[in-house]
Amino acid sequence: MAMFKKILIANRGEIATRIIWACRELGIQTVAIHSEADRDSLHVRFADESICIGPAPSAKSYLNIPAVISAAEITNVDAIHPGYGFLAENAYFAEVCEACNIKFIGPRADTIQLMGDKSEARAAMKAAGIPITPGFDGVIEDEEQAARVAAEIGYPVIIKASAGGGGRGMRIVPDHEGLFNALSAAQQEAQLAFGNPSVYIEKYIETARHIEIQVLGDQYGNIVHLGERECSIQRRHQKLIEESPSPALTREMRQEMGELAVRACREIGYVNAGTMEFLLDQDNRFYFMEMNTRIQVEHPVTELVTNTDLVREQILIAAGERLEFDQEDIVFSGHAIECRINAESPDTHIPSPGLITAMNLPGGPGVRVDTAAYPGWVVPPHYDSLIAKLIVHHRNRDMAIARMRRALEAYIIEGIETSVRLHQRILAEPDFVEGKLSTRFMERFNKSHNRPEPESQQAAQFAGE
Ligand code: MV4
């Protein structure tokens, strides 16, 4: 297969510009698509061509498959990069692309389909010999079965939507008393959010770390892992801070998890970039949770510690190139931390769209900012509030934290509220500095800082990545 001449980027914001940078370095022409609300976006300005595909609401623009495909046909592109969110994990969209002879830059449609059904993904991973959380291998049919399964695995349990992921449609159930209410609530939420009420039940691992392994596979069966990212600091299942390596993993654990991830990907014939999410419990046992079949928001921390360009690799793999490196060629170096900068209140997390009146980006050694924000830009209210990612790299974790602190001090954004202050407070926490992270970190942080909102229990609504 020949290298792509032109790629359409089916996304917006920082990831759209990130994909354009990779294309420019590869000498590939770019087409930006945008909604009416995104006319003045940076990705539109930096792309070689741009097309308006609809009004502001995503359902009418970035999620509108006929509009996206029409734009691709009109501009005669060879491939589409979906970024994250929007159509990135839509198996039907991947199928339509292939049917229109446009390469979808991602895994095969059947892989996206399999991993999109979380209970099927669990079963597939179990069959591949990957440890999964104790639970029932299948969807729950009725209350009686739910009660039997929950009693068998022991409380607390967690109910998850089969079509969910990223925490949507989840319910934590402390004891039998709350089971039936949680079951019907989860089923209703799943029906509403995904048009599919199927749920499954697992043992709830109360104090765990969220650790994910990055993988890359080419079309010829070569698969490598690029180590882990620790993403335990989340609120309402939206990650706030990610880092690599995890303070909790030894070299041996990294190798074991990495080899397991590679084996699982080999088993399902995984192609392109992917991420396997695991929970690591306090006894250092780890369990597969789900697999994300897209480039993730937090991919830069992996890029910095492995000296790779994951978006470039995605494009080369989709174009039919062989992986340029083996597992032995991947050298892990130093420590990287990412802070997600959202246009929102640092206290209430209420979105804060509007005009950015002034802005200073941090720079200097080991500092990277992935963003599409600029002074004079109006952050539209219609989309995810992520406006930038601040990523630092240094020789060790303590030095990376110091570097992040000084970069946050220099990150000035005026006119809107941002999460910069929240990150400064988190980076001042002794538990963070000591690497004592868990999925309960923000719950405890909120309590000790007298902040509202319980974090872990039945977080009702949040935007998906
Ligand atoms: C879990 C879990 C504990 N036990 N599953 C959250 C997102 C999705 N990928 C799965 N998630 C979790 N699944 C079992 N069996 C803990 C999480 C979890 C979490 C839970 C509550 C509050 C914050 C959390 C952050 C990361 C992961």
Q: Per residue of the chain (465 residues), what is the pLDDT tens digit?
A: 689 999 999 999 999 999 999 999 999 999 999 999 999 999 999 999 999 999 999 999 999 999 999 999 999 999 999 999 999 999 999 999 999 999 999 999 999 999 999 999 999 999 999 999 999 888 999 999 999 999 999 999 999 999 987 777 899 999 999 999 999 999 999 999 999 999 999 999 999 999 999 999 999 999 999 999 999 999 988 999 999 999 999 999 999 999 999 999 999 999 999 999 999 999 999 999 999 999 999 999 999 999 999 999 999 999 999 999 999 999 999 999 999 999 999 999 999 999 999 999 999 999 999 999 999 999 999 999 999 999 999 999 999 999 999 999 999 999 999 999 999 999 999 999 999 999 999 999 999 998 876 544 444 333 334
User: Bridge partners of 209?
Assistant: 280
Three-class SS state of 271: coil
Helices (H), 105-213: 109-116, 118-127, 143-153, 179-194
CB atoms within 10 A of CB 64: 21
CA 115/CA 267 separation, integer angstroms: 13
**Helices 310-318 & 13-26, crossing angle to 10 degrees?**
60
**Are 254 and 227 a contacting pair, CB within 8 Å?**
yes
Nearest CA to ligand 1 atom 23: 439
CA 156/CA 224 separation, integer angstroms: 36
Nearest CA to ligand 1 atom 22: 456
CB 210 near ligand 1, within 6 Å: yes
Tell me the per-residue pLDDT of 106-135, one tens digit each, with 9 for 90 and over. Answer: 999 999 999 999 999 999 999 999 999 999
CA 167 to ligand 1 center in whole angstroms: 7
Three-class SS state of 165: strand
What are the tokens at 86?
Answer: 């929007």
CA 329/CA 331 separation, integer angstroms: 6
What strands, in cross-sheet order, belong to the sheet with 6-9?
49-54, 29-35, 6-9, 79-81, 103-104
What are the tokens at 357?
Answer: 């009146």
Nearest to 211 by CA among 309, 156, 285: 285
CA 58/CA 175 separation, integer angstroms: 39
Q: What is the pLDDT of residue 169?
A: 80
CA 288 to ligand 1 center in whole angstroms: 11
What are the tokens at 10?
Answer: 């089916």
Return the best residue to mutate from 172, 231, 279, 456 for the ligand 1 pocket (most ligand atoms within 8 A of CB).
279
CA 256/CA 103 separation, integer angstroms: 34
**Are 389 and 465 a contacting pair, CB within 8 Å?**
no
CB 202 near ligand 1, within 6 Å: yes
CA 32/CA 36 separation, integer angstroms: 13
So which residues are the catalytic ones?
A: 294
The angle formed by the CA atoms of residues 237, 240 and 246, to the nearest 5 degrees, is 95
CB 313 near ligand 1, within 6 Å: no
Q: Identify the DSSP state of 4.
A: P
CB 166 near ligand 1, within 6 Å: yes
Return the best residue to mutate from 289, 443, 447 for the ligand 1 pocket (most ligand atoms within 8 A of CB).
289
CB 239 near ligand 1, within 6 Å: no
